[in-house]
């Protein structure tokens, strides 16, 4: 071993030991013949000291060639430091160097390797191996490792078996776009990379595995939004002989176990809310419940007073911004403009100010008496000093707009602390959603999701009203996981494909193996999958999943470091019997 100890290991009790350390030069200082080297590795930083009057001359001259990020090996004696450094764990000691060797010199890095770096996103991605040396990045990946460890500890203790499912599978038209892989041995045919191991985990249940999980890479060829990656990781789980309630309990247990073991947080029982309530109260199927500011519907109170905007609205909905009555006209105008941006698309924003002196002032005073406004305020639970913000229009649109406003106000009021964690189950999602453009119904979750038994008759009469036995876990306004009770009987699965517009032949070609399997003794089963990258970023109190992935891709799906994707040889394409048509 090129070291006897790591750079994070030595303490005052090691004084007088002769040790060898290896690592990177963090910084070198030469002060009047005394040379200090901060030597860094994954485990910490230890100070080396050389004195031109007493240290071996070779070591001194080597030390004078050092600069940032050189890889060196130093041998010497552990001595107590005079000026102790209580910021680092090795701060009580230093190493009086007797010999020093450069294992590998280093060019000047293109950005500073420290917590506050001067490197922009692009340069840090190109030199990701240098970015990984920054302790902030390394800590994120260590957190990820710990999350995976603790996930496995919990799942193993619950008798789940981790099973690896294939990566080279079959392309299916439902869902997002597949990445495909041409098969050389089967010319003209392609594998697809899995968007999830969905059918395989269901087949494991048919195979009697009872409890399955896997921490597994999945792939989606989507146009990348800021915080999506073409390859991502799921905690994928499935159980047999269970009902929705069993899944909720089991995986609430997982999340609480993770909070306890990774963050030392005692997460209380996870509250539950129906999709319908989440939409009504937050305009959002993944509400951020770190703060209240629930929607209050004023439609009945607001109509009939000759204010055309409200009179023509399907919904008039308000939130109460506590303590914001002192917002200036300018602030409110700015908020109104913010709401009118194309991303949100509100026509305007109505306010009612509940002044400290008890008077009420609104932007619609022309149409509503103070009495009217008081009734609104009362329904909103507003008090003196509060500001009521109101949006109206077509119900779904108004809710969506109001949801954005609520989140923005939460942020502005400092109610969304990334180190506070609020989890929520959202239940009873609609089974289907209508695609205007394609003029057909789509599975909201996926085609294997079971309708609620009592809603099955609605499959014949009112597709939009069918609720699914589906559930999402939401933490701090982000969906971290979702799943469903599955269909496990062939006739219902066939019905579902029919509803989704598959011909019999298509359904058979794509999912025949699964429907066949359902005829050979498929148990009732249900499952869930958590977005592991996202879960890690939330635990890390960060916004971006990219910081929790060792080698992420950029928004065009490029790995800047290895410069991939890239062209391939004509010979490779010949062998695969494909051609590009660019």
266 binds its own copies per the rule CB under 8 A: no
Helices 504-518 & 490-499 angle (0-180, nearest 10): 160
Establish whether 211 is an annotated binding residue.
no
Q: How far is the CB of 485 from its own copies (least distance, A)?
A: 11
166 binds its own copies per the rule CB under 8 A: yes
Window contacting its own copies (CB under 8 A); options: 105-113, 290-298, 353-361, 406-414: 105-113
Q: Which of 57, 82, 87, 104 binds its own copies (CB under 8 A)?
A: 104
Q: How far is the CB of 147 from its own copies (least distance, A)?
A: 11
Q: Which of 13, 54, 186, 312 binds its own copies (CB under 8 A)?
A: 186
Q: Any idea what DSSP says for residue 233? A: E
Site string for its own copies, 2-21 (x = CB under 8 A): xx--x---------------
Establish whether 220 is an annotated binding residue.
yes
- Give the Cα-Cα-Cα angle 232, 238, 239 (nearest 5 degrees): 165
Contact (CB, 8 A) for 255 and 423? yes
Strand 272-274, strand 423-427: pairing: parallel
Contact (CB, 8 A) for 425 and 472? yes
Window contacting its own copies (CB under 8 A); options: 149-157, 303-311, 339-347, 407-415: 149-157
Contact (CB, 8 A) for 155 and 254? yes
275 binds its own copies per the rule CB under 8 A: no
Window contacting its own copies (CB under 8 A); options: 88-96, 419-427, 474-482, 567-575: 567-575
Q: How far is the CB of 565 from its own copies (least distance, A)?
A: 4
Give whichever of 219 and 310 is closer to its own copies, judged by the CB atom: 219
**How many other C-beta atoms are found inside a 10 Å radius of the C-beta of residue 6?**
16
Which two three-digit tokens encode residue 95? 């190493």
238 binds its own copies per the rule CB under 8 A: no
Contact (CB, 8 A) for 192 and 182? no
Whole-angstrom distance, CA of residue 12 vs CA of residue 82: 12
70 binds its own copies per the rule CB under 8 A: yes
Residues in binding contact with its own copies, number by CB under 8 A: 124
230 binds its own copies per the rule CB under 8 A: yes
Residue partners of 410: CB distance under 8 A and separation at least 6: 288, 290, 291, 293, 416
Q: How far is the CB of 447 from its own copies (least distance, A)?
A: 15
Which two three-digit tokens encode residue 19? 């040790």
Give whichever of 117 and 299 is closer to its own copies, judged by the CB atom: 117
495 binds its own copies per the rule CB under 8 A: no
Strand 315-321: give its sheet, edge to edge. 296-297, 315-321, 387-393, 350-354, 360-362
Give whichever of 127 and 251 is closer to its own copies, judged by the CB atom: 127
115 binds its own copies per the rule CB under 8 A: no
Establish whether 486 is an annotated binding residue.
yes
Q: Which of 12, 112, 157, 161 binds its own copies (CB under 8 A)?
A: 161
41 binds its own copies per the rule CB under 8 A: yes
168 binds its own copies per the rule CB under 8 A: yes
Contact (CB, 8 A) for 221 and 535? no
Q: Any idea what DSSP says for residue 468? A: B
H/E stretch holding 530: strand 525-531
Strand 44-51, strand 71-80: pairing: unpaired
182 binds its own copies per the rule CB under 8 A: yes
Which residues from 129-148 bind its own copies, rule CB under 8 A? 129-133, 138, 141-142, 144-145, 148
Peptide bond into 412 cis (omega under 30): no
Whole-angstrom distance, CA of residue 47 vs CA of residue 94: 5
Residue partners of 77: CB distance under 8 A and separation at least 6: 16, 17, 18, 19, 95, 96, 98
Q: Which of 32, 87, 120, 188 binds its own copies (CB under 8 A)?
A: 188
Establish whether 174 is an annotated binding residue.
yes
Establish whether 446 is an annotated binding residue.
no
Q: How far is the CB of 103 from its own copies (least distance, A)?
A: 6
109 binds its own copies per the rule CB under 8 A: yes
Q: Which of 174, 189, 370, 408 binds its own copies (CB under 8 A)?
A: 189
116 binds its own copies per the rule CB under 8 A: no
Feature table: binding site: 174, 220-222, 229, 445, 479, 486, 531-534
């Amino acid at each position: 071993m090129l070291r006897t100890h790591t750079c994070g290991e030595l303490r005052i009790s090691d004084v007088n030991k002769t040790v060898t350390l290896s690592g990177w030069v963090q910084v070198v200082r030469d002060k009047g013949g005394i040379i200090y080297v901060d030597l860094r590795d994954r485990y910490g930083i230890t100070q080396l000291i050389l004195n031109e009057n007493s240290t071996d001359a070779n070591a001194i001259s080597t030390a004078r060639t050092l600069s940032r990020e050189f890889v060196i090996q130093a041998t010497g004696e552990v001595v107590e430091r005079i000026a102790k450094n209580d910021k680092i764990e090795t701060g009580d000691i230093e190493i009086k160097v007797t010999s020093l060797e450069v294992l590998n010199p280093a060019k000047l890095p293109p950005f500073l390797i420290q917590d506050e770096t001067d490197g922009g996103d692009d340069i840090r991605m190109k030199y990701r191996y240098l970015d990984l040396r920054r302790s902030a990045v390394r800590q994120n990946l260590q957190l990820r490792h710990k999350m995976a460890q603790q996930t496995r500890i919990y799942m193993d203790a619950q008798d789940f078996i981790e099973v690896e499912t294939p990566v080279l599978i079959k392309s299916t038209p439902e869902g997002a776009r597949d990445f495909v892989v041409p098969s050389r041995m089967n010319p003209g045919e392609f594998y697809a990379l899995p968007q999830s191991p969905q059918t395989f985990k269901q087949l494991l249940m048919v195979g009697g595995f009872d409890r399955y999980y896997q921490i597994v890479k999945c792939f989606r060829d989507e146009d990348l939004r800021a915080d999506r990656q073409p390859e991502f990781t799921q905690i994928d789980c499935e159980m047999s002989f269970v009902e929705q309630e069993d899944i909720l309990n089991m995986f609430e247990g997982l999340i609480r176990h993770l909070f306890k073991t990774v963050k030392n947080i005692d997460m209380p029982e996870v509250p539950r809310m129906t999709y319908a309530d989440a939409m009504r109260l937050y305009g959002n199927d993944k509400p951020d419940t770190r703060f209240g500011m629930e929607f209050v519907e004023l439609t009945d109170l607001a109509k009939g007073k000759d204010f055309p905007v409200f009179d023509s609205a399907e919904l008039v909905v308000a939130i109460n911004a506590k303590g914001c009555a002192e917002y200036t006209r300018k602030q409110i105008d700015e908020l109104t403009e913010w709401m009118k941006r194309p991303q949100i698309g509100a026509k305007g924003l109505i306010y009612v100010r509940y002044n400290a002196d008890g008077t009420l002032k609104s932007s619609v005073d022309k149409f509503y008496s103070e009495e009217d406004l008081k009734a609104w305020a009362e329904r909103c639970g507003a008090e003196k000093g509060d500001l009521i913000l109101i949006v109206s229009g077509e119900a779904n649109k108004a809710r969506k707009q109001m949801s954005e406003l609520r989140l923005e106000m939460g942020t502005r009021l400092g109610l969304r602390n990334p180190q506070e964690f609020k989890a929520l189950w959202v239940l009873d999602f609609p089974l289907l959603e209508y695609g205007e453009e394609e003029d057909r119904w789509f599975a909201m979750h996926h085609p294997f999701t079971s309708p609620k038994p009592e809603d099955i008759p609605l499959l014949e009469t009112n597709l939009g009203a069918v609720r699914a036995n589906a559930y999402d876990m939401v933490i701090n306004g982000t969906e971290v996981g979702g799943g469903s009770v599955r269909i496990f009987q062939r006739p219902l699965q066939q019905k579902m494909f029919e509803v989704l517009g598959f011909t019999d032949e298509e359904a058979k070609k794509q999912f025949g193996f699964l429907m066949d399997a359902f005829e050979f003794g498929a148990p009732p089963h249900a499952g869930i999958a958590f977005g592991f990258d996202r879960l890690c970023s939330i635990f890390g109190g960060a916004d971006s999943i990219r910081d929790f992935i060792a080698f992420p891709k950029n928004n065009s799906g490029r790995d800047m470091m290895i410069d991939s994707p890239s062209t391939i040889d004509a010979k490779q394409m010949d062998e695969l019997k494909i051609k590009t048509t660019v």
